[in-house]
Amino acid sequence: MLESIEDMYIDGVSMAETFTDKDDEFNDYLIVNSVYGRGVLERDNTLLPTLAMDGAYPSYSRFPVRELTVEITVKAPSFDELRKKVERLSKFVNSSKEVEISFADEMDRRYYGRLGMVDGDLETNRIMKTTLTFECSDPFKYGDTRVIERPDGALPVYNNGYDSYPIIELEAKQKTTFAMISDGSNYNIAGTLTDVEQEVVDTRNVIIDELGDTLGEWRDISTQGAFKSDSNGIFVNSYGTGTGWHGPRIEKELPSVDNFEIEIYMNVRTEQDKMTFRTSLNFYDDEMKELGMLRLWDKNNKRTAKIVEGRIGKYTGTNYENYMISDKNYFWEGQRVYNGIIRVTRVGNEWTFYAAHITQRGNHIETITRKYNDVNGEFSNALRYIRAESSVYGDNPPPNALRIQRIRVTELAQITEDQTPYILEPGDVLTFDHVSRNILVNGEPRLDLKNFGGTWFPLKEGQQTIVVSPEDAFDATLTFEERFI
């Protein structure tokens, strides 16, 4: 049996096994002959000659791009089959994004790169030999992913490799104005440390946090269809029938709120282009004057597209003048699954609309934020009612799945210069991501919380302890990939 001692794996798939016919392995095979570029990693050193000294001034030093050069031999039973095999090989090794690369003689290490130069094609007697060069913008190779969990303020870590950057998740057990991590020499901090003389204020008062368990407390104003709920949120039990948009509708009265935040979390899946739907959350003052609307929908039965909308005031036509978010700036052609959040915040006369997709890990991606200053106070009345509806159009089939996972309304308090707000409530998760240099709160990017003096420090080689403060405020989880040169 022909074997590739240095067989290459792309995203965990063996190149040799993929292109070798086990029933005819002497006439139909791929062999990885050799791999170069995994040895001692060189450095680029920048030297600045000066008139006042011998030699040069050492200015900067860095690791350059790593190049992995892979020589392969491919054989097929016929010339025609060789051509087809090369086509499949070209598709296998080409990617616009960097992929995970590993080798059979080094399975405990991973590289990340993509195909660059191809050189030395030689074809003879149904055999092709060629050299593939994979360019790794990150020159490091990676080992095991390590996870350390602790319910207190210290995370003991042993790092076997080179400087490696951690991701530290802190789940709050109590309200806090700040979160800090430190290795004893460096620190990173989100929020504000307070002196004993400073006033700490709670700026958030949750009025409604509807997960489906109190759906019966809403007023049903449906003319068609009905909502139901289970442990995963609110779903549509029936859309009813009709020629236009038709489906269930519910309403909730709130205490009067001047400054507020309204959020709706939704998940939908449409497997056919002819499926249509819309899910909206409208909000009103005490005289039922519409203050605005949040919406997710697919209104075309000839194609699949997800549109998010955020509007101030009532519908005034298709000119989109009062739409902060619409298909003009947040339109997803061909997207069959949407899992995300739409939010509106009003503090004083300033409105902020926000939308994002939410990944399986809970991170917000593809975010959009738009602001509007209501200088004339046209939409300044207190919030009093919210209305949720889901509908389909005519006899077009409904989505395969649609859920309102959460509706939350929070009263917001404005703070003065001598007050410090809490940044986390119990259950909130703050993430210091030293890999991507970001701070997240419940998956949402919040670099605005970062303290100016904080740094994105790495884990050094060997034993160390990451201290978390306040020490009794968090359950802490540290994750990192061991990194090698």
SS3 annotation, 252-274: EEEEEECCEEEEEEEEEECCCCC
pTM for the structure as a whole: 0.86
> Residue 326 and residue 342: Cα distance in Å, rounded?
12
The predicted structure's pLDDT at residue 280? 97
The predicted structure's pLDDT at residue 250? 97
| Residues 6+ positions from 349 with CB-CB distance below 8 Å | 373, 374, 375, 377, 380
The predicted structure's pLDDT at residue 123? 80
> Residue 475 is which amino acid?
D
CB atoms within 10 A of CB 207: 17
> Residue 468 and residue 125: Cα distance in Å, rounded?
65
> Residue 7 is which amino acid?
D
Question: What is the residue whose two structure tokens read 């029938």?
Answer: 241
The predicted structure's pLDDT at residue 390? 96
Distances (CA, A) of 292 to 281, 295, 316, 413, 446: 9, 10, 12, 20, 25
> Residue 135 and residue 101: Cα distance in Å, rounded?
11
> Residue 324 and residue 327: Cα distance in Å, rounded?
10
The predicted structure's pLDDT at residue 392? 94
In order of their start, the domains of the chain are 8-139 (2.40.30.200), 143-201+420-484 (2.60.120.860), 204-412 (2.60.120.200)
- Rounded (5°) CA angle 269-356-114: 85
The predicted structure's pLDDT at residue 198? 78
Q: What are phi and psi of 303, to 5 degrees?
A: -155, 165
| Residues 6+ positions from 192 with CB-CB distance below 8 Å | 177, 178, 420, 423, 451
Please list the ranges in the chain whose pLDDT falls under 50: none
- Residue in 310, 376, 321, 372 with CA at minimum distance from that of residue 347: 372
Query: How many residues can be counted in the chain?
Result: 485
Residue 82: enclosing H or E segment and its boundaries?
helix 79-93
Q: For the segment 318-341, what is each residue's pLDDT rounded down to a tens digit?
A: 778 899 999 999 988 888 999 999
Conformation bin of residue 121: beta by default, left when phi > 0, alpha when psi is -120 to 50: beta
The predicted structure's pLDDT at residue 69? 96
| Residues 6+ positions from 289 with CB-CB distance below 8 Å | 314, 381
Is residue 7 helix, strand or coil?
Answer: coil
